[in-house]
Amino acid sequence: MFKFSWASLMLASSAMAVATEPVERISVYASHTPMSESEVLASVTVLELADIQARQARDLPALLAQLPGVQLSRDGGRGQNSGLYLRGGNTGHTLVLIDGIRAGAATNGYKALALVPLELVERIEVIRGPRAAWYGADALAGVIAITTRQSAGAELNANLGSYGQAGADLSTGWQQDRLQLNASLGYSRADGFNVREDLDPDRDGYQQRFAKFAATYQTSFGTLQAQADINSGNTEFDTGWGTEDQSAVLQRSYRLGWQHDGARWQQQAQLSRIYDQDTSYGPASRSPFITERDEFSYQSSLSLTEQLQWHGGVNWYAEQVDRSAVPYLEQSRINRALFSGLNWQQAGWLLEGSARRDLNQRYGGNNTWQVAAGYQFADGWLVRASRGAAFKAPTFNDLYYPGSANPELAPERAIADELALSYYTDNGSVQLAWFARDVSDLIQFNLATYLPENISQARITGAELQVDVTLAQLRQQFAYTFLDTENQLTSEPLPRRPKHNLNWRLEYQWRQLSTYLSASYQSESFQGPYASRSYLGGYTLWGLGAAYPLSSKLTVRANIDNLLDKNYQSSDGYNTAGLTFGLNLNYRAF
């Protein structure tokens, strides 16, 4: 078992670091305006491309699991279903934005992160805590904002690894005067491993193809943008329900955007369409589900004075189930919203307030709000507090799926509080946060009745500690999350939320060689009253990796996950990967 005395030793050694080159990270989505991470009145983690490549994660869920506040439950390996619980919220409580577009199928109400190609990701911003006052429903626990690749030249990646993993992707960019064109495409696959030993004794692998095309044109009245993304593939899985054990996915998104930046007034508008097709099939049946979402948003930011800035805008989206294996009682709904907020900074004080009004076609008007205050009491130090309200409407599956729907469900509502202290210096940062969230009418699936139901009240409290410090060629990153959840109707914990999560990473730079050693600990987790095992045991996973530039353009990276070949589960009954080796070649012609 992982010893917390060892973790304390890591923190103590980090505290002795001395200054190196400062790195300023900018939050774009937390307050609807670019702002230094050290001044944001929310818990934010920003990963740039260099951070993403250095971590050498197998896929997006594996990368996110290394961050504070994130708990992950996997039903198998790469390509398989993954449940992400941000600060103890349900998977559907985290809004996923991809290039500013609300992502995810209307039927289940969330984005399958295992299907997002990490090869296309340029930047990730994770905002922990409700952002419903800015983004509406689905941002009850937080926001994951993903920016896809916009290469300035040509970049080629090729990779291979354990379990038959192989893939390649190409990104390229071209610019002529005011016109910029970008394109990315790639392919990946794996044989996988047997996900469930009690079911089909076969390997459960996947294949995935993806492409992105984008154009940007500068004009005298602003920047025009157009983008198209295509993601398709096949995934094998094991299930105890029926004979369907494969899934074919086709996802398409289209975006038109406009942005104008003036001296005091910034504006942007965006029109998008999301098409999501997911078909499960097997030897005896086929279950297609096709959903679409059309969305329009407009946002304006105005500097009223040097200290005071106003933000506001409108948002409209329509969701529709175009085709389904079973008939839904309702197949479409519309949401309209108006939001506004203020940011004020003066003499070390930072204040923020925002409010939003959503008009949901089924549930009528819903008001959400957020207030936050911070004080920079010394150079690099910030103490802050916030409170916010959020809501989430039930999904189409919750309300209308025949045989397992509950049309009487009420929207989930939450009030969240946070107190935090942070310190930023040239050689790193330390962040400590306490949070609490009371959720009314939390939706949980009851396996006894096979119906979703509202829990009268749930309570989630916790704390996060994040340390990132550099000493000469040595960098240490430490993230610890304590989480305490309670279904106040039964006094049981909420399923699949371990109390303790810890991630430690040590990076060492020797000349041109970069190496790292990592450790991830998760305590035991409650799996629910109807699981075959009420609790799954805790585990510690070790990782090792290195990167070396063979030339100014060619870099080789290699890593080993689960270095000690630990046998563990994060979801009851589902196997996970053993010792896994990966090799990547990256060629950049910039």
> Which pLDDT value is given to residue 17?
36
Rounded CA gap, 431 and 68, in Å?
A: 10
pLDDT in tens, 483-526: 999 999 899 999 999 999 999 999 999 999 999 999 999 999 99
* Averaged pLDDT, 9-16: 36
CA distances from 81 to 2, 110, 570 (A): 27, 12, 12
* Averaged pLDDT, 454-483: 95
Predicted model pTM: 0.94
CATH 2.40.170.20 fits 4-289+427-435+457-589, yes or no: yes
Model confidence at 326, pLDDT cuts 50, 70, 90, reads confident
User: How many C-beta atoms surround the C-beta of residue 534 within 10 A?
Assistant: 15
Rounded CA gap, 203 and 220, in Å?
A: 56
* Averaged pLDDT, 252-265: 95
> Which pLDDT value is given to residue 483?
97
pLDDT in tens, 526-547: 998 888 889 999 999 999 999 9
Which distant-in-sequence residues (6+ apart) come within 8 Å of 277 by Cβ?
Answer: 248, 249, 250, 251, 288, 289, 290
Amino acid at position 468, single letter? D
Count CA atoms within 13 Å of residue 122 on its CB side.
13
pLDDT at 385 over 50: yes
- Average pLDDT value for the chain: 91
* Averaged pLDDT, 385-398: 94
> Which pLDDT value is given to residue 23?
60
pLDDT at 24 over 80: no
> Which pLDDT value is given to residue 258?
98
pLDDT at 3 over 50: no
* Averaged pLDDT, 226-252: 89
pLDDT at 25 over 90: no
CA 395 to chain centre: 19
Least confident interval from 66-70, 126-130, 508-512, 528-532: 528-532
Model confidence at 9, pLDDT cuts 50, 70, 90, reads very low
User: How many C-beta atoms surround the C-beta of residue 306 within 10 A?
Assistant: 8
* Averaged pLDDT, 555-578: 95
pLDDT at 284 over 90: no
Instruction: Enumerate the domain spans of the chain.
Output: 4-289+427-435+457-589
Rounded CA gap, 243 and 299, in Å?
A: 47
Q: What residue has token string 């989206």?
A: 317
Rounded CA gap, 360 and 335, in Å?
A: 5
Q: What residue has token string 């970069």?
A: 514
DSSP 390-438: EEEPPPHHHHH-TTS--TTPPPEEEEEEEEEEEEEETTEEEEEEEEEEE
> Which pLDDT value is given to residue 168?
97
Model confidence at 6, pLDDT cuts 50, 70, 90, reads very low
CA 276 to chain centre: 19
pLDDT at 35 over 50: yes
pLDDT at 1 over 60: no
Model confidence at 10, pLDDT cuts 50, 70, 90, reads very low
Q: What residue has token string 């893939």?
A: 167
CA 468 to chain centre: 20
Element (H, E) at 581: strand 580-589
252 touches 232 (CB < 8 A):
no
Model confidence at 257, pLDDT cuts 50, 70, 90, reads very high
Least confident interval from 222-231, 347-356, 397-406, 458-467: 397-406
Rounded CA gap, 37 and 117, in Å?
A: 26
Model confidence at 123, pLDDT cuts 50, 70, 90, reads very high
pLDDT in tens, 81-90: 888 999 999 9
> Which pLDDT value is given to residue 110?
85
pLDDT at 11 over 60: no
> Which pLDDT value is given to residue 121?
95
399 touches 412 (CB < 8 A):
no
pLDDT at 428 over 80: yes
